[in-house]
Amino acid sequence: MEAMRLKYQLVVRLIDGLRVGAWIISSFVPLTAIEKISRNIAGKQTNFSASVSVSIAISILLSVGWAITARRSHERKREVDRLRSRNDKLEHRFLPRPQAPTADSMNQPDPAPEETSR
């Protein structure tokens, strides 16, 4: 069960890493477009600021949305980890533990195997 839990945690961390990568890529695309536009109009007087502002606002909105989603996901993951830890503690407390052999039981011979009819 411990191996499965560790494997699950590894998969969760991989997914979290992929989310961060997707967020960086999704932020990069609008900023690249803004960079190309600003290069073309650099030093010129235009009334193009509204479009650039909208692009930046959308990029910020997506970033904030991703941050909120990531925060909620992290809180859920932390709660699940807390509940798993509590469950493990309760299982270890209430499950019967194997008893260590005593000195008397170690000195006694094993019971003879039963005879079977052929």
Query: pLDDT, tens digit, for every residue of 49-72?
Result: 656 677 777 777 788 888 888 888
CA-CA distance, 102 to 18, in Å (whole number)?
54
At 97 the pLDDT is 66
The rounded distance, in Å, linking the Cα atoms of 34 and 51 is: 9
113 has pLDDT over 60: no
Q: Where are the domains of the chain?
A: 1-39+50-76
DSSP 118: -
What is the pLDDT at residue 50? 59
pTM of the model: 0.38
Higher pLDDT, 5 or 79: 79
Stronger pLDDT, 104 or 86, i.e. the higher one: 86
Place of tokens 């890493």: 17
> Which of the 8 DSSP states describes residue 42?
T
Over residues 94-100, the mean pLDDT reads 68
